[in-house]
Structure 1
Amino acid sequence: MILKGFKQNSTKKYISKLLDARKDFVANNKISSLAVLVNIDEYDDFESFIQFAKLINIAPNNLKIIAFTSNKKKDVDALNFCYNPKDFAWNGKVKHAELQEFIKTPFDALISYYQQDVLPLKVITAASKAKFKIGVLQTDNRLNDLIINTNFKQFDLFKTELIKYLNTFNKISNE
């Protein structure tokens, strides 16, 4: 129990360090690649993200969805990849190679679709090299560039609001 507390505290420090070092620069380019980070324990409709990507003209090969589950034994057939707490070492360091590759990829946008305060999800959001980070209301406003405050279970409302803001910011092409 004490070790778990030390691990959580060191992970929180790592997240703060990542967020403090982050530059508040948002590129003016259109979104052509999209990453989605979802907590499958809260929301498991991957098809809604695929449809959203089609709606904003993202090619299927430019969409990457990864899921997180807090259940270490749960084998989830996610679209691309599912990870769990065992994929993280002390200080929030990522142990899994595919997850490290996801973090290093400079996606045009990252949608962090989770509500629960789960440290591994926050680590991935904070460490991601995505150029524009989008999320639902969370405890730490520094995680995302754009926060859509909608009812978490109403994905259609989230999608509508997000498209409205992306059009306002001239981030999507209407071709």
Structure 2
Amino acid sequence: MAFGDSIKKMIGERALRAEMKNIARQRAALSIDQAKSIGIVFEYTNAEDFDLLKKYVLYLREMKKKVRAIGYYAMKELPQFPYSKLEFDFFGKKSFAWNGKPADPILANFVEEEHDILLDLNMNDLLPLRYLTAVSRARFKVGRWEEDDHDLHDMLIDSPPAKGLKNFLRHIDTYLLKLNKPAAE
């Protein structure tokens, strides 16, 4: 990481912590069954993971959930591939100001939506995705367990990045389907 990038990251982290203190939201531990709307933040890294995510969104929609996913791509241009504009939006580095704050209306609209559940599929601990998760007004934020980052999410799931997105989505389903279920007698 270049010196300038590390300064930007440090400033972004500080801004993120300050904004987190000002976010007013109603927290609630919700299962997938209880949720009506689900937001997803993810990094576009390859077509295979994106196809998996499209299938997961379809699975959630079949459960009658309103789903909106927003993906970050680090490339200069988004690769050309078919996707539904109703369910997916994309943003890149240019969507953020120098201090790491969102400068794109798509991002502002996403974080203002009060999703019942926000799934943070940030496998590489990227600041732009962490920022969206932090300032989101979602009622229940679910993400991957990180050693030094416990205040960003309401529920943390231990799923190492090396095991991939598919493994993480399986864990999310396992826990969110069991949440708030009465114990078997």
Q: TM-score range by the shorter chain?
A: 0.7 to 0.9
Task: Describe how 1:1-150 pairs up with structure 2 within 5 A.
Answer: 3-21=4-22, 26-27=27-28, 30-41=34-45, 43-44=49-50, 45-54=52-61, 57-59=63-65, 62-75=66-79, 77=81, 78-79=83-84, 80-138=88-146, 139-150=148-159
Match of 2:172 among 153, 158, 162: 162
Secondary structure class of the residue paired with 2:128: helix
Q: CA deviation at 1:92?
A: 2.1
CA distance in 1, matches of 2:68, 2:111: 11
CA contact (8 A) 1:52 1:159 kept: no
Deviates more, 1:153-162 or 1:75-84: 153-162
CA contact (8 A) 2:96 2:103 kept: yes
Alignment: residue pair count: 168
Q: CA deviation at 1:159?
A: 3.9
Secondary structure class of the residue paired with 1:166: helix
What RMSD in Å do the two structures reach over aligned CA positions? Answer: 2.7
Q: Which runs of 5+ in 2 are unaligned?
A: none
Query: What is the percent sequence identity of the aligned residues?
Result: 22
CA distance in 2, matches of 1:28, 1:122: 20
Deviates more, 1:116-125 or 1:3-12: 3-12
Q: TM-score, normalised by structure 1?
A: 0.79
Q: Which runs of 5+ in 1 are unaligned?
A: none
